């Protein structure tokens, strides 16, 4: 059943980005869950026709990004004094822009699989292309782009040359390797995640970036 894997993709996408827990602690699992999100979506798409994958991808993208946009409730209801129903519907309305791009990737992934061309590099390129399209089509909306989840990555210097899309491609590539049917590719993806997490955790600048981020968040909340 693709729905179980689809819901796992929704959860992975949500927790791939920093989630504040209280005033001083931020749960940040992006190093692992950024590649896990596309991997879970690809597993959900296995065996589906392109048309079926299009529908599953749309629903998955809609729900995942509605969850990421939960802050819209605070903006509309707490600060904007809008009715509660507006705040509840706002994240789902905003995520309707993102959903077609996830659906487009799902359609391409299923088409490539149908033709025996679904190698990890092509899948990562497809994911990155749709995120790039999302950055400018109808003025664009980049919130929740995969590459941003790797803001603590040891690969962050790649962004100097390829922008956030270099990180997006890296995360999508590792995810596609993990989701691959080939045992060797899965092992390569797993090793890549382990090495990436280890190198990022040992980065001397990681702690200072996290401390700065947490302190800034705390000061903003106190000033607010």
Query: Domain segments of the chain: what residues?
Result: 2-223
Question: In the chain, which stretches have pLDDT less than 50?
Answer: 207-224
Which token pair is 208? 């200072």
> Where does residue 47 fall: left (phi above 0), alpha (psi -120 to 50 degrees), or beta otherwise?
left
What pLDDT is recorded for position 195? 61
d(CA 21, CA 2): 31
Query: How many H-runs (helices) and E-runs (strands) does the chain carry?
Result: 10, 2
- pTM metric for this prediction: 0.85
Contacts of 195 (CB under 8 A, 6+ apart): none
Q: Is residue 25 helix, strand or coil?
A: strand
Which token pair is 173? 């590539």
- 37 near 12, Cβ under 8 Å? yes
What pLDDT is recorded for position 211? 42
Q: Give the number of other CB atoms < 10 A from CB of residue 45.
A: 28
Q: Which helix (H) or strand (E) holds 96?
A: helix 84-114
What pLDDT is recorded for position 182? 60
Q: What is the pLDDT of residues 81-121, one digit of tens each?
A: 999 999 999 999 999 999 999 999 999 999 999 999 999 99
């Amino acid at each position: 059943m693709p729905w179980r894997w689809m819901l796992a993709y929704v959860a992975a996408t949500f927790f791939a980005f920093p989630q504040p827990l209280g005033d001083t602690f931020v749960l940040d699992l992006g190093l692992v869950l950024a590649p896990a999100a596309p991997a879970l979506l690809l597993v959900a798409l296995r065996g589906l026709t392109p048309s079926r994958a299009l529908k599953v991808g749309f629903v998955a993208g809609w729900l995942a990004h509605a969850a990421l946009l939960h802050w819209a409730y605070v903006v509309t209801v707490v600060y904007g004094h809008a009715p509660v129903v507006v705040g509840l519907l706002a994240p789902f309305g905003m995520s309707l822009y993102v959903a077609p791009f996830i659906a487009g990737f799902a359609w391409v992934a299923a088409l490539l699989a149908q033709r025996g061309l679904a190698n990890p590099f092509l899948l990562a390129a497809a994911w990155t292309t749709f995120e790039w399209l999302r950055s400018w089509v109808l003025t664009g909306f980049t919130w929740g782009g995969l590459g941003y989840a790797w803001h603590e990555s040891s690969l962050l210097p790649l962004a100097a040359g390829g922008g956030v899309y270099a990180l997006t491609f890296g995360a999508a590539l590792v995810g596609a390797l993990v989701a691959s049917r080939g045992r060797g590719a899965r092992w390569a993806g797993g090793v890549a995640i382990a090495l990436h997490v280890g190198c990022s955790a040992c980065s001397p600048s990681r702690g200072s970036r996290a401390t700065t981020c947490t302190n800034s968040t705390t000061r903003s909340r106190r000033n607010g």
